[in-house]
Amino acid sequence: MAACIFFLLMLMVCHSYGQTWPSGTYGLPKPLTGCPSGWTDGRRKHDTEDRNPNNNWSNPLNLAGYQQSSSMEHEFCIKTSTSGSSGWPAGEYCIYKYGSCPSGFQEKFVYWDDEDSGNANTRSGTLPNGVYDNNTRYKFCCRNDGDTSQAISLPTGNNFYLFATKATCQQVNGMAVTLEYFYWDNEDSNNGDDESSGTNTPYPGVVLGGIKLNFCYYQPASAPTWPSGTYGLPKPRTGCPAGWVDGRRKHDTEDTNPNNNWSDPLHLAGYQQSSSMEHEFCMKTSTSGSTNWPAGDYCIYKKLACPSGFQEGYIYWDDEDSGNANTQSGTLPDGDYDNNTKYKFCCRDDGVVSQAITLPTTDNFYLFAVGDTCQQVAGKTVVSEWFYWDNEDSSNADSQYGAHPYLGVTASGQNIKLTFCYYN
C-alpha cells in the first residue's frame, strides 16, 4: 500500500511539473480534440473556386472545421497570454503569428485569392494576425535552425498541430506525428495567390492553381518497449529493466604495477579497483518486443543471435596469468569465461549519432559507443564514460575481431578501453 501511495504521489508531482507551452502569444491549427486549456479559438470560412471545384485533403485529416470541394472552414487555437517559462526550441516548423513572433522565428505570410463571384468568406472568434476580407492573408512565424529528425520538447497533454517547412515533420519527444495536408483550389481567374520569398515558409505553399499546406498532427505516442530479441547491456547502479536478469564477471587484471582506471563519474554496477574489477550485466532473455532496434551507431552484448541490423564481433581480454582469480555468476553475454574473457557484441553503424533514436525512457541504461561520440536517444541525457583494463603484461594476447565497441584494444596492444554511454 505504501508503494502505491508513493507512486500516486509521484504521478501528481510529475503532473504538476509538466511542461507548459512556451511564452509569448501565437496560434496553432485547431484539431478535432480541441485547444489547450486557457486558449481561445476562432474560425475562418474560405469560399474557394466554385467552377469545377477541386479542394482536396489527406485521409486522415484531424483538423477542426469542415472540408468541402468548394469551401472549407479552418479553425484556430490562439494563445493570448504571454505566460510560459521557456522559449520555443530550435527546429524546422511554423506557427501562426498573433502579436509578435517569439524569439527565434521569422515572420512570413501566405495569401489566398478566394472566390471572386458571390464571395461568402466569414470569420469569427480570435484569429491569427492577417487580413480577412474577400481574400485571406495569414501571417506565420517560422524557424529553420534545427533538424526535423532531432526531437524537440513541447507539452504532451494535448493533441496539436505544427506547420511543416519541408516535406517532413519536426519530431517531438513523446508524441507520434502524422503528416496531413489540405489543398485549396482558389480563384481561377487572374489568380493572385502569393507567399513570402525564401525557403523558410509553410510548405509547400503556393502551387499551380491553389495553395497546399502540410499540417503535422501530434498525439501522445505509446510508451516504447525494449526491442524484440535477446541481448544484454552493461548494468548501471540503478539496476536492470523489469523482467530482465543479471550476471557478473570479475576480471583479475595485472597485479604488477596495476593501472586500471576509469572516468569520473562512472555509473557502472560492480566495483572498480586498480588490479581487478567486477562488471555486471542486464540480460534480456525473452524474445518479446514489438519493434526492431532503430538505425544508429552503437553496440549491445550478444545473447544467442544478434538482432536484425547488427553485425557480430568480439573483444578478448588477456586477464592476469599469475594466481588468476576470475569468477562469474548469473546470466552472462555470449562469450568465453575462464582464466581470460571473451565478450561477444552486436554493433551497428547505419545512422548518425546526432539523430536521436527512440528507446524506452523509464529506466537508466547503457549502450556502447562505436566511435568517440555517443548515440543520442530521445528524452534521455547521455554521459560518455569509460573504463580502462590494464591486462596481463607478459606475452599479452588481447585481441578483437569484427564489429566491436570503441576503442577496444589500445595502441599498446595489452590493454582495453571501452566507451560506455550512460542514459538517464
- Cβ contacts of residue 294 below 8 Å, gap of 6+? 351, 357, 358, 359
Name the grid cell of 417: 578501453
Q: What tens digit of pLDDT does each residue of 290-349 get?
A: 789 999 999 999 999 999 999 999 999 999 999 999 999 999 999 999 999 999 999 999
Element (H, E) at 413: none
Q: What tens digit of pLDDT does each residue of 48-83 get?
A: 999 999 999 999 999 999 999 999 999 999 999 999
For the ranges 14-28, 108-122, 253-267, 328-342, the lowest mean pLDDT is seen at 14-28
pLDDT above 70 covers what percent of the chain?
96
**Is the pTM for the entire model greater than 0.75?**
no
User: Does 4 score more than 90 pLDDT?
Assistant: no
| Residue 52 φ/ψ region, left for φ over 0, alpha for ψ in the -120 to 50 degree band, beta for the rest | left
Q: What tens digit of pLDDT does each residue of 268-290 get?
A: 999 999 999 999 999 999 999 97
Q: What tens digit of pLDDT does each residue of 193-233 get?
A: 999 998 889 999 999 889 999 999 999 988 889 999 999 99
Confidence of residue 7 (pLDDT cuts 50, 70, 90): very low
Backbone CA torsion sign across 217, 222, 228, 233: positive
Cα–Cα distance, 359 to 374 (Å, whole number): 14
Q: 3-state class of 5 per DSSP?
A: helix
Hey, which bits of 48-91 come out as E strands?
56-57, 71-79
- Cβ contacts of residue 172 below 8 Å, gap of 6+? 151, 152, 153, 154, 156, 218
| Residue 86 φ/ψ region, left for φ over 0, alpha for ψ in the -120 to 50 degree band, beta for the rest | beta
Q: What tens digit of pLDDT does each residue of 159-197 get?
A: 999 999 999 999 998 899 999 999 999 999 999 999 999
Note the pLDDT of residue 198: 85
Query: Quick check: 271 and 291 in contact, CB under 8 A?
Result: no
User: Does 15 score more than 60 pLDDT?
Assistant: no
Which has the closest alpha carbon to 419: 373, 386, 371, 370?
A: 386
Element (H, E) at 108: strand 106-112
Note the pLDDT of residue 256: 97
Cα–Cα distance, 349 to 372 (Å, whole number): 13
User: Does 1 score more than 50 pLDDT?
Assistant: no
Identity of the residue numbered 361: T
Note the pLDDT of residue 14: 37
Name the grid cell of 89: 526550441
CA 408-410-416 angle, to 5 degrees, is 55
Note the pLDDT of residue 8: 34
Note the pLDDT of residue 209: 84
Note the pLDDT of residue 221: 86
- Cβ contacts of residue 12 below 8 Å, gap of 6+? none
User: Does 3 score more than 90 pLDDT?
Assistant: no
Give the DSSP per-residue string, 218-266. Answer: EEEPPPPPPPSS-EEEEPBTT-PPTT-EEEEEEEE---SS---EE-SS-
Confidence of residue 18 (pLDDT cuts 50, 70, 90): low
Q: 3-state class of 143 per DSSP?
A: strand
Q: 3-state class of 330 per DSSP?
A: strand
Query: Quick check: 301 and 391 in contact, CB under 8 A?
Result: no
- Cβ contacts of residue 185 below 8 Å, gap of 6+? 48, 49, 53, 54, 55, 56, 69, 70, 209, 210
Mean pLDDT estimate for the chain: 94
